[in-house]
Structure 1
């Protein structure tokens, strides 16, 4: 009887948690993307415009992209990967501050707020990635053979790393508001360091070593391995990315678990 009662309470708690996450997702969709399709359209249009600009500019400088024949596909593979990582990490980092008013209710926890933003952002970025890459491939004259296992591995690293960085920044940004500006400055060189505009494999050894210390670099390389069957991505280390993610994520969760009540009580 006691075990049955515990099981019922556990299932009830899970149901309440799932309902809270779903409600937070619906709220996030309304506030972030609006009630019309225009909000989601801009989510796709913004990276498309940036990729098109990069393709036009670099096609005037060099005759051929580092991989394949399409400037659009090459820059899309890097730009969309880094954009998805940034979106996940930033939205997870801002989850408590964004839903602070709702966290006053006993049935809504800070973990629900983090999970809701993580799920919605991941699904949105997956859709954007699929749409843009599909259009880029459809406009090419050459045959593109996607490596779906490699793409899945790349997205696994991307989600793990983005979530981990977001968890740690969630504590830091909630406790030290100035950290948001500091992080924005520190994150700006990522566009160049992570190999969005070039192949890490072709860089001189000192530059390559520095770039490989940055975990998003490995995600970009794995994503390109999934798109280009001629690219081996020999410098990718999934163990390194997951190891860093585990360390940062565990630290972030520990700090949030210990200090979330203090964060929620601050105005």
Structure 2
């Protein structure tokens, strides 16, 4: 007698199938997000360059020097780039199910594939943009900066991890409760102003420090600046805190998606 049960899928084969699915979804994302607009990926570079140029011009007219160093573009780039990495990656991960819902009819495509594809492509894009922008600033201007790879890689890694955790949790919340997307956008608008892009934590009043310490992006931006300003102490920075928030939100989001993903993909 022969068994009627299907043969189990070997782990290696399953991993190869998942990798092919993620790559296919990334190619689809590239075509839909960048291939339909004039200039394509050029806009991904032009946006931060224009924002940093505007910030540098405005604040150079009001202040003689930035809070750290002597170069305005470098100071704002070290805050703006990790913030934008977190913000954009988290938003893309949060809309993964909605973006790829038509493809879930295929047996080889799942919600984890959609999340991994959007996360991977968004992170790679921001890393490439960051390298171009920071490399251009260090080449064009005399910054007296001594970049250290350790803190820079750690800051960008924490920004990506936090984006994955927050994005995964929001992926469930925004899909299950559509009103949450608008509420989240309103609630997080002040983040641009309170995440250390325009100032350093150490220069704030004690009362403000005690509140803003709980903003994970303050730690990420501080760590990023440690990588460019070797003399910056940043004693308040806690990678453990950022990692804890990232893991807690990621695990909670995945548990909710695992339990409710069938209903979310059918709605």
TM-score bracket for this pair, using the shorter chain length:
over 0.9
What's 2:45 paired with? Answer: 44
Q: Is the Cα contact below 8 Å between 2:71 and 2:143 reproduced in 1? A: no
What's 1:264 paired with? Answer: 265
Report which stretch shifted further, 37-46 or 195-204: 37-46
SS in 1 for 2:237: coil
What's 1:178 paired with? Answer: 179
Q: Which runs of 5+ in 1 are unaligned?
A: none
Over the aligned positions, Cα root-mean-square deviation in angstroms equals: 1.5
What's 2:93 paired with? Answer: 92
* Alpha-carbon separation, structure 1, partners of 2:143 and 2:154: 25
Determine whether 1:153 maps to 2:151: no
What's 1:113 paired with? Answer: 114
* Alpha-carbon separation, structure 2, partners of 1:142 and 1:23: 41
Q: Deviations over 1:28-83 (max 9, x none)?
A: 00001116781110011011111111111111111000011111110111111111
Post-superposition shift, 1:9? 2.2
Q: Deviations over 1:156-202 (max 9, x none)?
A: 21111000000000000001111111111111110111111000111
* Alpha-carbon separation, structure 1, partners of 2:10 and 2:78: 46
Alignment of 1:1-267 (within 5 A): 9-34=10-35, 38-266=39-267
Post-superposition shift, 1:143? 2.9
* Alpha-carbon separation, structure 1, partners of 2:143 and 2:249: 41
Aligned residues: 262
Post-superposition shift, 1:8? 6.4
Q: Which runs of 5+ in 2 are unaligned?
A: 1-5
* Alpha-carbon separation, structure 2, partners of 1:56 and 1:187: 26
SS in 2 for 1:192: helix
Post-superposition shift, 1:233? 1.6
